[in-house]
Each structure stands twice: as structure tokens, then as C-alpha cells.
Chains A and B, each alone.
Chain A
Amino acid sequence: MSLLSLLLPELILIVAASGLLLLGLSNKVASRRLAPVVAMLALIVTFCIQIYRVKAGGGPTQHDTFGGISRDGSIYGTLRIAEFAQYIKLISLGIGILLTLLAWPTNDDATGNSALHFGHDAGEFFALMLLSLTGLLLVAGANDIMLLFLGIELASIPTYIMVSVSRPLPVAQEAGVKYFFLGAFAAAIMLFGFSYLYGTTGATNLYEIMLNLHPKDASGIIDWGTRITLTPWQSLAVLMLVAGFAFKMAVVPLHFYVGDVYQGAATPVTAFLSFVPKASGFVALIKLLFALGGPNWLLPEPIVRANGTGLLWVLAILTMTVGNVLGLLQYNVKRVLAFSSVAHSGYMMAALAALATSQFVSPASNVKTTGLQAVLFYLAAYGIMNIGAFGVLQLLSARDGKDSAETFEDLAGKGRHHVSLALSMAVCCFSLTGIPLTVGFMGKLMIIKPALAAAIAKTPVGMSSVRPAMTWLVVIIMINAAISAAYYLRIVATLFLRSEEHAHPATAPHAAPHPAPRPHPRGHHLADHAHPVDPLFTRHTMPILLAVILSVAGTLLFGMIPSATELLGNGVQSAARIEGDIPQALPGLSDKAVAASK
């Protein structure tokens, strides 16, 4: 397959983004109205291409020879568009469509909507959005640390700008600056890690790195059955890379920016942040782990230790617990969702931690596949259910009627007047909690399954038992599910059980200062209708409403209707065969080839 057709989705998005940048030069209302349409068309076209490709899948994995060493059309390309990448691209584009709907400029002069005020920058805003999504698609297909890094940065850099332009408030500027500096810092650490990885393995191609890391016998056959030992420099590289990805994934201890940034950004941008950079981090991490462990996922020492604990295990436990406890302490719903996003990263890390122990338990327990499936499923599930929650926040107005809802006080008693919206929020919150009949429950089920399977699996002879570590992991997931229920339930309770008069700001000692009176925004803001949700079905709410409906429908559909769950499950299953086409006895690169690659 030619490079052009391999990169078709990315190219379409980049062309559309360039067009949007040009469109942004015009200052007309009509061009601002056109911008989201262009973005949406590009996303829908790429989404359809992706559906077609996933459906047509099953053929040989597509590799590009661009820049890599090509030997017999094998796997050393810069891009590797296998089922894994196709699946990630599919869910990214699908969720990208919903995110575009959330950001649709619906007010009269098309400068934003109930929560978003990008002023005249509609073209630029949507161009950035498409570019960021392109970055995620590239990460999904990257088979080379250069492209991987570029992809991650392409996914991240536009988000820094999006946060700043999303609303003309000091909090947003502060969030943008904070996010930018910390993001740049994380990128530097990541790049440092990549450079060490290159330095210690002599390759930038992920497969070459994998081959060079693993021992080979005299005839050059790679031994995939041995667990490698990293040199200190390699360990350092891995640590720095994990730290860099952890920032993107919002994994503790690199989660600290989440609260301020998620709160400061306009709600549609917050929704964007909670999916796109996070997904790019997870995909990159999976690729790194795969390179370290090989097709049998024999992950080395700092990642996982023989007793089942290790880097991933610690990160998972810290992330879940810290995220949920901090979520419990918040008084701003956006901050709650921010820390819930941290906690959900923790659940996905838990599945990866279980996956890492697969080498120490009997293969019959199937930890390897179920672990990877869980992460991939949860990524989609989290994206689907989370968007609904942000969408409802956008549609409900704040107490002062000027902005969309953010604090618990804003939500108080809204369930009485906007029953359907509040119910949508309830569905999303219950799904995030993991109540049955929602996609969140299926996700939680899949997350617990590998950890529990590892906890109860037989230990092969000569291995130390991972049972205590995995049992604790399961227990901590349980405890966290309960903690998280408390704050999701508080959102639902505020909507339905509290009356508007009873909202007492006095009970919010740590409440973040309410956004200061708006300095006059660029262009008009939406003050022309004080209650943007009254009535519900208006031109001003339609796109956001559509996103909420799609999200809620997806949440229930994937949790309830077997064929839908099966569909997603099958996608996940084929995507989890990440090692699919790697022959177990692949001839390694000869030294000459390594030298040639340098």
C-alpha cells in the first residue's frame, strides 16, 4: 500500500486544517459558521474511511517503508497500520466528531457557544482541533520513536493554544500558560528518554529497538522467551519516557496540572483534554511496553518485578487513589471530572499492571490478552461516557446566567427544570461509577478481570507468586470504585435532590474563586440569551445536545445491547493482537544492518 493511502486519514485532516487556517483569515460570520462544518466533514469522511478499513481488515498488516529499513516488505517501516492502530484511529475519530459537536459555535455571531468563546478564531480553533487529532492518529500508527514523539507533540501543542483561546478569562490564560510550560517540560523529559533509548539500542525504529534489546542465539534467531534485563541507562530512558507519557495520561505524580487546567479551559476544550492527550499517552506507553517486552510481553525489571509489583503497579495504585480522593474534595464539577479523569487513567494503568504480570502466571489465565483488551475497551468507554457529562455541563447555565455550569451550586436543583439533561448527566455519572447496563460497567468488568485472573492464577514452577500484589490491586480497585461513587453520586444528588434555594455556597470552604466578572470578551458573548438552555431545543443548543444524545446512547447501547457490546469487544479483541504478525522466531538484524541503520 502506498504511503499516500496509508496516511489518507491524516492527510485529509491536515488538508482540512490548512483550509481552516485560511478560512480563519476572514472575519465574516459566515466563514466562522463554515469552520465547524469543514472540520466535521473532514472528520466524518475520515471516520467512514476508518470504518471501511476496520471492516476490510484481516488482510496483511500494512507497513510503510518510508525511512525505515525495508527487508522483504517486513516490519521496519516508520508507520505500522495494523489492527491496533486502526482501532485507535477509529475511536479517536468517532470521539473527535463528538468533541467537534461540543465546540460548535452556536451563538448568533458564531463566536462560541454557551461555554466556549473563541471570538473570531473559529477557523484557527477547529484547525488546531483537527491537527491535534491528526497527532493522535500518527501516534497510533507510529513505529518509530521519531514519529511517535512528533505525533505526541502534534497532539499536545495545539491543545495548549486551544486552552488559551477557549475563553477570554484570566483563568483560561493561566491554565494555558501553566499547561504549556509543564507540557513543554514533560516533552523535554520524554525527548531525553527517547534519546537515551536511541543511544542504548542504536535504533529509532521500535521494532529494531525490540530486536536489539532481546538476546539472540548464534544463528541470529531472537529469543523471545527470555525476560530482558535493562542496563541502568536503559532503565533511566524507560523511566523518563514513562514520566513523559504519565504527564499526557494524567497519571500521578504527574497529574498536578489537571485541576487548574481542566477548570480553566472552556468545557469543550476540557472534554478534548480528557481524551486526546490521554489516549496518545496510553498508546505510546503500550508501544513502549511492547518494544520492551516483545511479543510475549516479558516486561523487564523496573516496569514489573517478579512479585508482581513494580512501576506500573505503583503508578496504577497511586493514580487511582489520589485521583479519587482529590475528586472527593472538589467543589467545582469540572475539577471533579478532572480528577475523575486521573482516576480513570489509574484504572487503565491497573489493567496494564496486570498485563505486565502475565509472564509470571500460567498462560491459561489469559492475563495477557484480557489486560490489553481492558485498556483498549476502557479508552473507548471513557471517551464515550465522559463527553456526555461535559456536554450537560455546557447546556446547564451557571447561577449568574452568564456562563455554563461549573460548580455544584450551579447544578443545584437543575434536575427539576431540565429533567432530560439531568438524566443524561445521571447516566454518564452512573456509567463512570460503573453501574450495570452502562458501558462503564463493562469497562470496569474488563479492568478487574485480568487483575483478578492474575491474582488467582497458578504460578508456574520456579516463579515467585504475584498473588499478593495482584490481590491488593483488586482490593484497591474495589475501594476506589466505592470512593468514586461518592463524588459521582454527589453530582447526581446536587442535580436532583437539592433545591436551588438550598444551594449553600457557605459549605464550600475550598471553593475555587468563582470566575471573576468577565472582562469584555472579544466580540459579543452569549448574553443575548441569559438562560441558554431555556428552552432546550434551540438552534443554540442543537449540536451540543446531539453530542450528549450520542454519548448517552453510546453509553447505554454498549452497556446493554449485546450486539453493540460485541462489536466493540471484537474491535478490541482484534486490536489486542498487537503482536499479531511478528513471527516468534524472527531473524534478528545482523550487526551490519544495525550499523547501516545508524
Chain B
Amino acid sequence: MQFLQNNLLTLLIFLPTGGAVLTLLAKNRDAARWTALATTLVTLALSLVLLITFKTNFGAVQMVQEGDWIPAFNIKYKVGIDGLSLPLVLLSTFICALAAIASWNIEKMTRGYFALFLFLETGILGTFLAIDFFLFYVFFEVTLLPMYFLIGIWGGPRKEYAAIKFFLYTLVGSIALLIVLIGTHLYTKDAATGLGSFDLVKLPLLIKAAIANGSMSMDVVRWFFVLAMICFLIKVPAVPFHTWLPDAHVEAPTAMSMILAALLLKMGGYGIFRVAYPLFSDAGRELWMIVAFVGVLSILYGALCAMAQTDFKRLVAYSSVSHMGFVVLGAAMMTKTAANGALFMMIAHGITSAMLFFIVGVAYDRAHHREISRFGGLATTMPVYFGLSAIGIFANLGLPGLCGFIGEIMVLLGSFEAAKPGSILIQSGAASTRQIYPFAVSACLGVVLTAAYMLWTIQRVYFGPERAEYRGFKEVDSREQVVLWPLAVMALLLGILPTLFVFSYTDSTVETLFKLFR
């Protein structure tokens, strides 16, 4: 038991890798499927143990496990968990278990598929749990590889293009982050070793010290912030860098779309809160307007693009761009409410986007196309499907009582809060009330647009007269229900009890984070 407690996080990260090896050795397809599912379920169970052991009022990173990795560079294997990562870790294990079920109909090279899938889970969990910057970077970039193959081999007709585009976009961001990685290492000196540091807990203070003693100029801080933000904004993705996302989603198999939207995008959001803002908070304060602009642009442009789509999956992909814009805006505003809202938004969007992509997948499996205009009347044909879809869609558009609402409203409230005299942005003189209002108000407009395109989609896909060619569609089967029900329940629970599920964990960590911003 003691062993389990000491190594819980490491076990959590590498359990899927072990499962991947077992999957590769599996005798046949079914064995591979069951091995993979069992692995994801055990990982989910392990992550639930975290809930029990996690100390909610601790604030700092806990359950730290540390060891030397490459001492010559002061690179450590250091994992730990705090309120930023805990909800995302739980989300990851939860979505991965569901995605394993959603992947049940993969027939082509099944063992390879599930092995890569489990490697991907290791990468995702590693990214969320790494406390060493270098380790974080390694996991962050290593997740690219399985996803590249999963889209490229099991994807749709233009999979090669989509996979390469996905890889190159993210790689460009990773290279920008690499500069930051080496740069912070060169600028900081760890008291213990005299070498540069990669420790994400110590780095904010070390960088503040470097700025204070003049060895690191504000110019450099600004550049590093911009480079780190470019990396994470590509991953999020925010508007000028978002074009890889629709292609990747459209070509990816359903389960991979779920993971891509629910988890991989969150790695970008997580990076913003784990790396970019804590390390370079001064630059973040100064450049708030650019970040906020990117956020609002993503919200509005993403929503408008979603409205213009004819392909159901592309529509959901653009809605992801729009929703992740709230996360970026939440970070830019630098208020506790907005930050909490952004973190909640990530969880909520993880649930709803996974659900919507699965819903699209269900329709595609039956109709073999995704053209919104060719659908219609599905509510009559498949009532249960419609009911579950409605929960997902309403949760996504932010209906009060469902999870999407809390995130949006918190970010918006936080944005207006930023315009108050006591906020960090106003106090530091980086912004004036008059500058902040336009961003907050236009973000509100995004909520309206979201409602518009989502409702319009319901109308076009589910309502209207039943179509003859879809009459033979069978209702969602038990496997599909096993995926959809947990998501629907979580969407509801998160909407009703946000504090119990998210804020009780994030609050104290956000508190700690904001001590760095002042």
C-alpha cells in the first residue's frame, strides 16, 4: 500500500504503456480490445484513488516523486499533482476508458491501434503530471507520434494530409517551446546544483529573481512568453493557428476525435496555466491585450465558422475552437474567477466535445456521410439517440444546469471583474477599465452565436420530417449507450455541482498561482 502511495503517479503514467505492450502481444483482435479496455479501466480506477489521497486545501504540488534523470543538465524525473492537473488527469482517464469502448469497431490492425492508443494515454497523463519542464516537454511532444499514426493510418480519405498537417503545426509550436526550455535553463541557477533549473515549481521564483537582479531583461521575458504562448495556442488551438484542427478532426477516427478534442487540446490550455503564465507572469500582464484578443477572436471566428459548416464533424471542430477561446480569454484576464472558469471550461469542454464527436460518429456509422443538409428527422428515427444528443448539444451551448454554462459564465464574470479597480490588470496599470470591457462584451456575443449554430444544427439534423433513407437506422446500441450515458451524466453533474467536482480542487491552486502574479 505504501508502495502504491509513493509510486501512484508514476504507476498511473506508465500503466498504459504496460498495457500497450500486452496489447501488442495479444493473440487476436478481441484479446487486444479487452486488454486495452482493462488497462484504461484500471488506470481510471487508479486515478480515482488520487481523489481520496488528494489534499484539497494544500495549494502546492503534492504527491511529488523525484529522481535524477540526466544529472549533467539537472534534468529530473519529477511528477506531482495539484489542482490544475487533478481534474485533467481524471478527465483523461475517464475519456480514455470511453474512447476504448468507442474504438471497439476498429477492424484494421487492431493491436497496433490499441497499442498506440495506450501510448497516447501515457503521453497525455505524463504531460499533466510532469513537474519538470524537460519531462513536460518530452511528454508534450511524444504525444504527437501516436496521434500522428492514429490519424494517419486509421483516418479518413485525406488522412495523410491531415496527419502531417497536425504534426507539423504542433511541431512548430514545440520548437518554439524548446527555445523557452533551453532559455529558462540558461537564465536560472538552481541553488543546490549551480546548474540551470527545469523545476516548474521553482522556476517562477528563479525567473523572478533573475528579473530582479537584472540578468534577465523584460525583453527576453516577453519573447519567451510569446514563444511559449505560440506553442500552446497552436495546441489549443486559437484562431490564427487553428487550421490544423478541422482537418485533423474530420479525418481522425471517432475515438481519436474524442481524445483530440477532449484531451490533446487541453494540453495547450494546461500549458498556458502551468508554464506560460506562472513563469512569465510579468509579460503575461503586459501583453494581456494580445492574448485576450486572440481569445475573443477564437470565440467569435470559431463560432462564425461553425455556423458556416456543412459537415457535421467540422462544425463540432470549429465549436471546439470557439470554446477553447474562452480558456485563452480566461487566462488573459488574470482574475481568480476567470482562471477558475477557464479550468472548468477545459473539463466541461472535455466532456461535451467528446460526447459531440461520438454523436457525430454514431450518425456517420449509419449514414456514411456527415453532410448536415442531408440529415433530418433523426429525432423521430432514433429517439434515444436524439435525447442523448440533446444533452450533449445543450451542454455545449451553455444551457444553465449543464456543464458548459458554468465555464462560460465564470470566464465572463471574471472578465468583467478584471475591469474592476482591484484586479491585477488594472492595479498594475497594464489595462484600463475601458480597454477590458470591449473584450468581455464581445465574448458575451460569442455565447449567443454558440446558441445560434447549435440550435440550428439540432433543427437541421434531428427535427423535420423523417427521411425515407434513414428509416432503417437502428437505435443507438448498448455499446454506444455505454459511451454516451456516462458523458451525459457527467455533463449534468458538473453543471449542478461544479464546486464538488472541480472548484474544490482548483481553488487553492489558483490561489497559489495568483500569489505569483502579483
Contacts and interface: CB of A to CB of B under 8 A. Distances in A.
Interface in B124-146: 137-138, 141-142, 144-145
Interface string A470-483: 00001000100110
B99 to A, nearest CB: 21
B179 A474 contact: yes
B313 interface: no
Given A449-B186, A489-B164, A458 B215 contact: yes
Q: For A365, A444, A482, A497, which residue has the most chain B Cβ atoms within 10 angstroms?
A: A497
A436 to B, nearest CB: 4
B171 A485 contact: yes
Interface in A556-571: 562, 565-566, 569
Most A Cβ at <10 Å: residue of B68, B163, B168, B179:
B179
Contact of B175 (A430, A478, A562): A478
Given A458-B215, A482-B171, A435 B141 contact: yes
Interface string A575-586: 000000000000
Interface stretch (B152-160, B403-411, B504-512): B152-160
Contacts of A489: 148, 164, 167-168
Contacts of A449: 182, 186
Given A452-B179, A485-B171, A493-B164, A562 B70 contact: yes
A457 to B, nearest CB: 8
Contacts of A435: 141-142, 144-145
Contact of B164 (A436, A481, A490): A490
A444 B141 CA distance: 14
Interface residues of A, number: 31
A493 B158 CA distance: 12
Interface string A454-498: 001010000000000000001000100110011001100100111
A456 B152 contact: no
B71 interface: yes
Contacts of B172: 482
Given A430-B145, A456-B187, A562-B68, A437 B164 contact: no
Given A496-B152, A496-B153, A562-B68, A456 B164 contact: no
A182 B391 CA distance: 72
A79 B145 CA distance: 47
Nearest to A454: B186
Interface in B486-501: none
A273 B353 CA distance: 52
A435 B168 CA distance: 12
Contact of A482 (B68, B168, B187): B168
A329 interface: no
A159 B149 CA distance: 39
Interface string A44-74: 0000000000000000000000000000000
Given A435-B142, A436-B138, A497-B160, A478 B176 contact: yes
Contacts of A430: 145
Nearest to B159: A497
B183 A481 contact: no
A482 B167 contact: no
A566 B71 contact: yes
B72 interface: yes
Interface string A426-454: 00001001011100000011001100110
Interface in A155-192: none
A131 B198 CA distance: 46
B175 A452 contact: no
B124 to A, nearest CB: 15
Contacts of A456: 183, 186-187, 220
B451 interface: no
Given A448-B179, A482-B168, A482-B175, A497 B152 contact: yes
B69 interface: yes
A351 B136 CA distance: 26
A437 B138 contact: yes
A493 to B, nearest CB: 5
A566 B72 contact: yes
A77 B112 CA distance: 59
Interface string A496-512: 11100000000000000
Given A435-B145, A436-B137, 16 more contacts: A430-B145, A435-B142, A445-B178, A453-B186, A481-B171, A481-B175, A485-B167, A486-B164, A489-B164, A489-B168, A493-B152, A498-B160, A562-B70, A562-B71, A565-B72, A569-B72
